[in-house]
């Protein structure tokens, strides 16, 4: 039982440390300018083409984690890291765009 509780505690701490940007929470209640999103995606594609492909497969095409990783020829763990980086990049660009 002790080990179960310790594993549960570690899992909760790991989630806290991830501090993943929550694009859905930020977008909620706001309208996203399609042009701003397109510009942000173009900027992402120039800087990090693979991250742009991850966004296309996960967000626009709706592929799941395993499917997208297989399609892109990367591991699911790499896809997770790329997805987090891409969301962070886009979120920063979109927030900067709405601050103007």
Check residue 29 and give its pLDDT: 54
Domain ranges of the chain: 22-99
pLDDT over threshold 90, residue 5: no
Q: What percent of the chain has pLDDT over 90?
A: 42
Enter the CATH code of domain 22-99.
1.10.10
Distance CA 16, CA 69 (A): 25
Residue 31's SS3 state is coil
Max CA pair span of the chain: 54
Quick one: tokens of 79?
Answer: 């896809």
Check residue 16 and give its pLDDT: 52
Q: Which residue has the higher pLDDT, 82 or 10?
A: 82
Residue 41's SS3 state is helix
pLDDT tens-digit readout, 42-85: 999 999 999 999 999 998 888 999 999 999 999 999 999 999 99
Quick one: tokens of 71?
Answer: 């399609």
Check residue 52 and give its pLDDT: 94
């Amino acid at each position: 039982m002790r080990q179960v509780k310790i594993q549960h505690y570690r899992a909760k701490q790991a989630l806290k440390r991830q501090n993943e940007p929550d694009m859905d929470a930020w977008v909620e209640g706001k309208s996203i300018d399609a042009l701003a999103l397109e510009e942000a995606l173009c900027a992402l594609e120039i800087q990090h083409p693979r991250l742009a492909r991850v966004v296309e497969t996960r967000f626009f095409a709706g592929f799941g984690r395993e499917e997208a990783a297989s399609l892109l020829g990367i591991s699911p763990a790499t896809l997770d890291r790329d997805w987090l980086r891409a969301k962070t990049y886009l979120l920063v660009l979109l927030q900067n765009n709405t601050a103007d």
